[in-house]
Structure formats: structure tokens, C-alpha cells
Amino acid sequence: MNICFEQLSKQYKTGRGVVDALRAFDLTIGDGQLFIILGPSGCGKSTLLNLAAGLEEPSAGTIRFGERVVASAEEHIFLEPGERNVAMVFQSYALYPHMKVFDNIAFPLRNARRKAHEIRLSVQRTAAMLGIDDLLARKPAELSGGQRQRVAIARAMVRQPSVLLLDEPLSNLDAQLRMATRAELKRLQMEMAVTTLYVTHDQTEAMTLGDQVALLKKGRLVQAGTPYALYHHPATPFAATFIGSPPMNLIPARLATSATEYYAWVNDRKIALSAELKAKAASLPTGRILLGIRPEHLRFTDQGQLEGVITYTESLGREIVYRVACAGHEVLVLADHPARETGRSVALAFDSAAVHLFPATEPADDPPDKPPLHGRPPRHG
Ligand SMILES: Nc1ncnc2c1ncn2[C@@H]1O[C@H](COP(=O)(O)OP(=O)(O)OP(=O)(O)O)[C@@H](O)[C@H]1O
Ligand SMILES: [Mg+2]
């Protein structure tokens, strides 16, 4: 079942004024997709999930599950969580401590008054999928953090929901267990083909796990697309620096044109732009811009387009991050050269195809055409 958010907004009224947690948010999630909701703390990820689950009502806009409108501020429609067939694993999930693992997982099925033998089969099948079928007789206190997390996921999946909502479900796990559970979760999600929204603030997790990624900032959708598209064609400086580690360099430059060509000037260095960038360059006003180059696309050479001095090095194991003072700006270089020491003058080269162009300022977070706040709609259904 696909999910459609249309012009969705959520405002919280607090003692100190109104918080725009989500602003005119548009997104469609395809049937069976694993869609990642990515963004920094406070950008509205949990708000979006709570709206999809029916735990919050939108201030404006519409949510559709397939053809069915499950919430609409304008049409005064609001379906309760129980009417949506969604399952959610919360950011701070909790298991029932006095219940065995089996009973924790069986809980939603007992609530739905399923037959005992059917419950036993469903719990065993889901537990086996998550590799916790040998733990069914234990209490949560007798489990590791990772095992508990899997019980919470099993409890959400056991009902075979049509929509699965996961809010940072792996955040309590150590790095190794997170990677293993992530791979399992992906396999499970594909097997069940359940439309899934997965919230994370971790861009690596987003890139490795998602079919599609939606990047949010301050309640707004910045960009949605495949991990490949977000990495190779970031729409804004924010997207460029949020995705990829270490982050993309954004070097202040001046855009200039001649009759036939576009250039960027970094101080007195003239940098020719590739043919592919001409359409992008033509859409920017000449003058101040940002030149984006990923650290992994810079290399040390004898004669490069940029020059600088290494100020700091940081080992990542296989690779090294170099900080290079370059034209009054710090530039990061990712390389596997171990033999370049701090204080040394270096030249940096890059392919013009690896260059991104951005306007010098990020698009405004809060444009003046903000939709009005709607009152609390009366409940239906
Ligand atoms: N009940 C509430 N009342 C007032 N403000 C709220 C409420 N819930 C969330 N907010 C505010 O709305 C914004 C979005 O919050 P949300 O919880 O959706 O962020 P998030 O992206 O999930 O962040 P995190 O990664 O830290 O979990 C924040 O500024 C938050 O302070
Ligand atoms: Mg959250």
C-alpha cells in the first residue's frame, strides 16, 4: 500500500509560541518500499511518524494510505491508530517487563482476539525470522539490548501491518550489532514487502538501508531520492554536507562567464567548469557561489587547481582525513597516502566532473507563503 503526504503541516502551540514541527511536507512512498526519513535532531522525523500512525492530528494537509484518506485537516477526517493497520516501534520502545518474550510478541494478537493456535504460529514464525525463537521463554531483563530491540520489532511485525513505522529502532545498539540487525531488518522488510518508514539521523544508516531517502531540515523536505541521487546530485548545500562522511567541501568562489565558457574563481585561481555544469551555472547569478567538492574526489599532485598547507591529519584506519588550509578556507581531503605530514605545502587536483555548484546562500527555511494554522478538526469514523 502506498502512502501519500500532501502539504502536511504540524504546529505545536507551546507557552513560548508556535513550533513549526512540519511544514508543507509532500512525499509519496511506494508500495512495499523501505523509505528512510533522515535529518538532524528536531527536524520533524518523529512528528511525521506520529502523524502517519494517527497519534497526532495534522494542522494542515492530508495523509492517504492507498486510496483511503486517513487524515485531512481541511476535510476534517481523522482515523484513529487502530483503524489504520499500522505498527510502530518507538524511539524509546518499552517491553512489558513482567511478560515473557512470547507474551510480549503475542500481545497485539491477543488484543485483536486471535485464536490461540494462530497466535502461537505467528509468534514462532516472526521470532524465527528475527533469530529470537530460542528466547521466547525469557523475560526482557534476561536479554541483551540487541535482543530486546528485536523483540520490540517482532511485536510490531507480528500483526502483519500494512504500514510499518520505525523510529530510530537501532539506536540502542553498538555499532557491530547495529550493522548486523540492519541487514536482517532489510531482508525481513523485503520478505514481508511491507511499506516501511524508517527514521534515522545517521546518514550512513540511511544510505545503506534505504530504497529511497527523504532528507528533512527544520520541518521541511529538502530532497527525496535514491541514496545514489542524494550523494551524486545534492540539491542544496545542506544536503551536500549532511550526506557523505567526511562532508563535502563548500568553497566560496565567484562565478564568471565569457562568451563561450563558465569559470569559478577561488581567490586568483581560475577553475574551468565542465560542460555538464553549464546548465547549472546558467541558473545561478554570476558572483558569489559555493564550489562543492567531496573530500574523496580531491587528490594530492604536483600541479593542481588548488594549493594549501596541511594543518591536521586524522586516521580512519584505511584512509586519512587531511585538513588543508586553502585560499583562506579549510578543505578536507580523504586519501590513503600515509606520507604527508602537517605543515607541508600541497597541491590539490580534482576532475571538473566532480564539482558541484550551489548558490552562496541556503534556501530560506521559512518563506512568507506559510499556510495558515487550522483548528483541531472534529473526529470522524
Ligand atoms: N508535543 C510537542 N510540543 C511542542 N513541541 C514539540 C512537540 N513535539 C515535538 N516538538 C518540537 O517539534 C520539532 C520536531 O520534533 P521531532 O520530535 O519531530 O524531531 P525529531 O526529528 O524526531 O528529532 P530527534 O532526532 O531528536 O528525535 C522540535 O522542534 C520539537 O521540539
Ligand atoms: Mg525523534
43, 55, 221: residue to mutate for ligand 1 pocket, most atoms within 8 A of CB: 43
CB of 23 closer than 6 angstroms to any ligand 1 atom: no
| Between residues 224 and 256, the one the model is more confident about | 224
Q: Are 100 and 151 in contact (CB under 8 A)?
A: no
CB of 59 closer than 6 angstroms to any ligand 1 atom: no
CA of 80 to the centre of ligand 1 (A): 21
Query: Is 261 a residue whose pLDDT tops 90?
Result: no
- Please report the pLDDT score of residue 365 as a whole number: 59
Asked whether the domain spanning 247-359 has the same topology as the one spanning 3-232, the reply is no
Look up the CATH number of domain 3-232.
3.40.50.300
**All structural domains of the chain with their residue ranges:** 3-232, 247-359
pLDDT tens column, 25-59 = 999 999 999 999 999 999 999 999 999 999 999 99
Residue 200 φ then ψ, to 5°: -155, 155
| Between residues 287 and 208, the one the model is more confident about | 208
CB of 92 closer than 6 angstroms to any ligand 1 atom: no
CA of 242 to the centre of ligand 1 (A): 19
The span from the CA of 309 to the CA of 19, in Å, is 45
pLDDT category at 273 given cuts 50, 70, 90 is confident
How, if at all, do strands 220-225 and 320-326 pair?
A: unpaired
Closest approach atom of ligand 1 to CA 49: 18
- Please name which ligand lies nearest the alpha carbon of 11: 1
13, 19, 218: residue to mutate for ligand 1 pocket, most atoms within 8 A of CB: 19
CB of 201 closer than 6 angstroms to any ligand 1 atom: yes
Look up the CATH number of domain 247-359.
2.40.50.140
pLDDT tens column, 345-367 = 999 999 988 999 999 877 765 55
pLDDT tens column, 56-98 = 999 999 999 999 999 999 999 999 998 999 999 887 778 999 9
Query: Is 380 a residue whose pLDDT tops 70?
Result: no
| Between residues 8 and 156, the one the model is more confident about | 8
- Please report the pLDDT score of residue 368 as a whole number: 46
Mean pLDDT of the chain: 89
Query: Is 378 a residue whose pLDDT tops 60?
Result: no
Closest approach atom of ligand 1 to CA 45: 21
- Please report the pLDDT score of residue 375 as a whole number: 44
Question: Which amino acid belongs to residue 207?
Answer: M
- Please report the pLDDT score of residue 372 as a whole number: 42
CB of 46 closer than 6 angstroms to any ligand 1 atom: yes
The span from the CA of 227 to the CA of 234, in Å, is 10
The span from the CA of 231 to the CA of 294, in Å, is 10
CB of 44 closer than 6 angstroms to any ligand 1 atom: yes
pLDDT tens column, 137-153 = 999 999 988 888 889 98
pLDDT category at 339 given cuts 50, 70, 90 is low
Q: Which three cell numbers stand for residue 124?
A: 514462532
- Please report the pLDDT score of residue 181 as a whole number: 82
CA of 40 to the centre of ligand 2 (A): 9
pLDDT tens column, 233-254 = 999 999 999 999 999 999 999 9
- Please report the pLDDT score of residue 338 as a whole number: 65
The span from the CA of 350 to the CA of 378, in Å, is 59
Residues ≥6 apart with Cβ < 8 Å to 259: none
Q: Model pTM?
A: 0.89
Q: Which three cell numbers stand for residue 164?
A: 510499518
Query: Is 379 a residue whose pLDDT tops 70?
Result: no
Query: Is 12 a residue whose pLDDT tops 70?
Result: yes
The span from the CA of 223 to the CA of 132, in Å, is 37
- Please report the pLDDT score of residue 307 as a whole number: 92
CA of 109 to the centre of ligand 1 (A): 31
CB of 195 closer than 6 angstroms to any ligand 1 atom: no
CA of 363 to the centre of ligand 1 (A): 22
The span from the CA of 172 to the CA of 147, in Å, is 11
Residues ≥6 apart with Cβ < 8 Å to 217: 39, 40, 43, 238, 365
Q: Are 373 and 57 in contact (CB under 8 A)?
A: no
Atom 10 in ligand 1: residue holding the nearest Cα: 21
